[in-house]
Amino acid sequence: MVLTSVEKMVGLQKKTSGIRNICILAHVDHGKTTLADCLISSNGIISSRLAGKLRYLDSREDEQIRGITMKSSAISLHFVKGDQEYLINLIDSPGHVDFSSEVSTAVRLCDGCIIVVDAVEGVCPQTQAVLRQAWLENIRPVLVINKIDRLIVELKLTPQEAYLHLKNILEQVNAITGALFTSKVLEERAEKETESESISDIAPGDQIYDWSAGLEDTDDSHLYFSPDHGNVVFASAIDGWGFGIEHFAKLYSQKIGIKAAVLLKTLWGDYYLNTKAKKIMKGDQSKGKKPLFVQLVLDNIWSLYEAVMKRDKEKIEKIVTSLGLKIGARESRHADPKVHLNAICSQWLPISDAVLSMVCNKLPSPLDITAERVEKLMCVGARTFDSLPPETQELKSAFMKCSSEGTAPVIVFVSKMFAVDAKALPHNKPRPLTQEEIAHRRELAKQRHAEKLAANQGKELSEKPPGENSSEVTGSAGDTKGEEQQLTGQVEIMTSKAMKQEANNKESFIAFARVFSGVVQRGQKIFVLGPKYDPAESLHKLSSQCSATDDLPLVPHMTCCTLENLYLLMGRELEDLEEVPAGNVLGIGGLQDFVLKSATLSTSPACPPFTPLNFEATPIVRVAVEPKHPSDMPQLVKGMKLLNQADPCVQVLIQETGEHVLVTAGEVHLQRCLDDLKERFAKVQISVSAPIIPFRETITRPPKVDMVNEEIGKQQKVAVIHQTKEDQNKIPEGIQVDSDGLVTISTPNKQATLSVRAMPLPEEVTRLLEENSDLIRTMEQLNTSLNEDKKTHEINQKTLDRIKEFKQKLEQNLQGRKWRNAVDQIWSFGPRKCGPNILLYNFESYKKSVWQCLGNAVKEVSKYRDFENSIVSGFQLATLSGPMCEEPLMGVCFTVEKWEMNKVGEMLSISSQDPGECGATEHKQSEDTTLTSGFTDGVYSVNEHQDSSQSVPKSPEKISKHKEDVLLADCYGPFSGQLIATMKEACRYALQAKPQRLMAAMYTCEIMATAEVLGRVYAVLSKREGRVLQEEMKEGTDVFIIKAVLPVAESFGFADEIRKRTSGLASPQLVFSHWEIISSDPFWVPTTEEEYLHFGEKADSENQARKYMNAVSRMQKAPK
């Protein structure tokens, strides 16, 4: 096909109904990029012979070497179907789990997606993940079952077996879709129930429970994949063929004489053809007949493959003539039968026609965006659509219309920033010269040649004796001037060349974006809205009609910028555009100073920021980076900033130690980031630390059996006495530890005493706290605004319901005598006020609740009020770094059982509660002032003369004012600081009084391996402390699927080792799953006779927890 011109593409961009924004999603190595190649070759951009070999959208060198896609790339294709023309904006995305963040950026910009599944491997972990992502973004999927040639060539299945295998794959995909749909329906039903409960007050006796789940009433037939719906294509991208059953329905309706509509319904399913009656009958299996799909479709494909593979020339010629194809002599004589096969199949069943026809028929255009999706995009966090300002709600119609009129507000979403070499930008590319430019350059060359000749003549004249001719002397002087000018000209040319080269070496950032409404124009001024931007607040300052060109007041999280360049994304190429109408995907230049990773752009300040992207992978692999030459540090810092902008998932941190840390999603992702840093962004030599493994610290219940699995009885208590005495000696003076772990400690100035106990939280509660960390953060924000009496927007009912449900779940899981009233006594969560640890209060005359936002707020006026934040801060610090290896705590509950303050502390706190109501008499005031200033002496070590001079009685107003200042300073000064430190120490000692354990981060690991290498896979897993959870054989193949868990600490080099040991026959997929307690005690030493006999006096056998703990400590103590 002939290449489509840019002008044609620009014309197609204006017809919104003919635009299809689609992405290709699949598990790694299921054939996405090969399929993309086939679709691109249909536009003449690459040769059809190179499709699958070139991998056009894998433009990075490391993508080509590794053979996997690492980034989302877009390309615009032109497709003609009948008399209609379509513009297809195709985005190819990665399948490797480390790059799943790139999938999220692609999915947000699309209206539909092609799910590709390998016919042999079937549904894999990432297939499930991408189906879930498509579901969450409300985009419609279609299915391509790829690599069907493997069923013929590798597995050597018969057509009947292949049919059953394909049917099984379809069922698996539909089962995932069904599960997602069911969960959605049940959620909606639960919401309706809570609403109806709050509205109606029915007597308990009259209430009748409806047992139906609501699934019977909802129609979900359009969601499922079925060939007769036209949303499934069977293909082999590498061999260039693919078909939907409608192709064969048309073909056979002419041959057999049965209506195409009937064939379309019966070609897939339990139907067979009665050749005598020329009728299609039901029940093929019961009668032992071939299904229609096998008889009319698969048998033909199988016989073609068999003929070509066996080089049966007669049969091939017969097939080619019956299909009316023309095959070149070069292909038919080729040594590789696959080339011949490709030539026949790509003409008979062109994959691009099958897939693009399905995309145009079944996937929506930007005009068909659903109201549900629009509302989801516009509502950030816990806000509902109804709670948005009216001006914002009006923008919904602009989304739905997808209008390209001049009056329509411009709304653009930038899903990621990607770096391109400055040389690749259209204005830097070498272009063919026009006739005028060629003539001009010819004139310049002639002029330069003439000047050179003149200069040479001047030199010859200057070499003659000086007395001969005075005029010659003046001539030579003129020539030297000319030479000087020439030299300066050359210097200028060289400097301009150097500057150009430097500019070309720079990386330019282009925003990967989509226009949801309006027309984007080059040079247009537009608002950039950050993720925390709130239109409700800004509309008080700005009118909804104002534009980015006006002189506006400062609004938080909103800036103005100019769209410098607009680009049409064409895979490896970029084409300049002047304007882009609604519904199109585009690249925007000049946003690198305004957008970090993603942003919303709009001409209307009423536009809300879009919902943040859903990232499947959690960044967990950390490394510290430093330059080999310290002088290169500024370049490294600059390079890391650029890397942070160019990668949607990477995190760049600077720790307290001054280390620069990269946090990535996995080993492959880490390698790509380091390569980019070295070669593209920093361009300096760097040294990288060993991976910094995250751990968590926790406590457990005292064990019932010892290390040799004997019940802990009297024999151990005798031997353990010396150990407990040693432990007690470690505790400094002034700290009391009870036998049941209650720690009592006083502040250094003895003004306050705290008693704290630590208890392990049940696993379910820890999991619940982790899952609801965002909700806890929302609660904290609501409570803060309530405490500060801020006027905030109304808390929507949905958030309150979620908080109530969370509280109920906590109450269900925290039951028993020791957890009585625990949920109501929760003081704080930690670390960072939203972590998986709890602080409880259990002492008299104090009431404080994290559940204030539910309406049970109590304005507390007590002696503790001013210092409660100090206790909470101490708890936050204690949970942020534990005593074993300074790692955060997890699953620990601290209870403050006593908090006593002596008279000075009480005086301080009571007087600071209401400074206006100070003592009635001047004498009382001076007494108080002296008292407090004496207290500050003890803490601040302030000069006594100064204090005494300040406490000389002055006028009552001055004294009370001065007293307020001193009290305020005390409240937030040293006494509160001592309380923080004391609380932190108390928590640490309470933790050490219980059995401590380390928690390791765990990956879930899915490995596909054949039977002969199964033993080697198990050997590698056991060597690396892995644990196999499940092993099952994939139906119809000799492949086993092994599901295991593996500590992140042991995962480095795991994938390479598996591949080496199995000669590439097994490859793992690692996804971060959970935190798991390491059962061994890191401080354990043998105490009983049996343990001495089993482990020896030094207990030299490896203690996994101690090994990890020492490794972390070594890394923290290493010289920075």
Q: What phi and psi, each to the nearest 5 degrees, are found at residue 809? A: -60, -40
Q: Would you state the pLDDT for residue 675?
A: 93
- Do the beta carbons of residue 472 and residue 457 sit within 8 Å? no
CA–CA separation, 1031 and 1025 (whole Å): 17
Q: Are strands 19-26 and 112-118 parallel, antiparallel or unpaired?
A: parallel
Query: What is residue 760's DSSP assignment?
Result: E
Q: Give a three-class secondary structure readout of 492-550.
A: HHHHHHHHHHHHHHCEEEEEEEEEEECCEECCCEEEEECCCCCHHHHHHHCCCCCCCCC
| Residue 513 burial class via C-beta count within 10 angstroms: exposed 0-12, middle 13-18, buried 19 and up | buried
CA–CA separation, 25 and 137 (whole Å): 13
Following DSSP, what letter does each residue of 798-830 receive, concatenated?
HHHHHHHHHHHHHHHHS-SGGGTTTTTTEEEEE
Burial track 821-853 (b if 16+ CB lie within 10 A, e otherwise): ebbebbbbbbbebbbbbbbbbbeeebebbbbbb
Q: Would you state the pLDDT for residue 730?
A: 62
DSSP, collapsed to helix, strand or coil, labels residue 264 as: helix
Q: Would you state the pLDDT for residue 261?
A: 86
What angle (nearest 5°) sits at the alpha carbon of residue 363, between those of residues 215 and 261?
Answer: 80
Q: Would you state the pLDDT for residue 118?
A: 93
Instruction: Name beta bridge partners: 969.
Output: none
Q: Which two tokens stand for residue 988?
A: 């640490």
Q: What letter represents residue 102's amino acid?
A: E
CA–CA separation, 253 and 265 (whole Å): 12
CA–CA separation, 647 and 851 (whole Å): 38
- Do the beta carbons of residue 211 and residue 238 sit within 8 Å? no
Q: Which strands sit side by side in the sheet containing 660-664, from one edge to the other?
A: 651-654, 660-664, 621-627, 686-688
| Residue ranges for the chain with pLDDT beneath 70 | 1-2, 191, 193-219, 277, 284-288, 381-382, 460-505, 543-551, 704-731, 788-796, 855-865, 903-973, 1036, 1087-1102, 1113-1120
Q: Which two tokens stand for residue 946?
A: 């100064």
DSSP, collapsed to helix, strand or coil, labels residue 837 as: strand
Q: What letter represents residue 42's amino acid?
A: S
H helices present in 737-886, as ranges: 763-771, 773-787, 797-813, 868-880
What lies within 8 Å, CB to CB, of 618 at 6+ separation is 665, 1072
CA–CA separation, 753 and 747 (whole Å): 6
Q: Which two tokens stand for residue 6?
A: 């840019």
Q: Which two tokens stand for residue 240?
A: 């260039």
CA–CA separation, 730 and 146 (whole Å): 66
What lies within 8 Å, CB to CB, of 511 at 6+ separation is 414, 416, 417, 587, 588, 589, 591, 595
DSSP, collapsed to helix, strand or coil, labels residue 648 as: coil
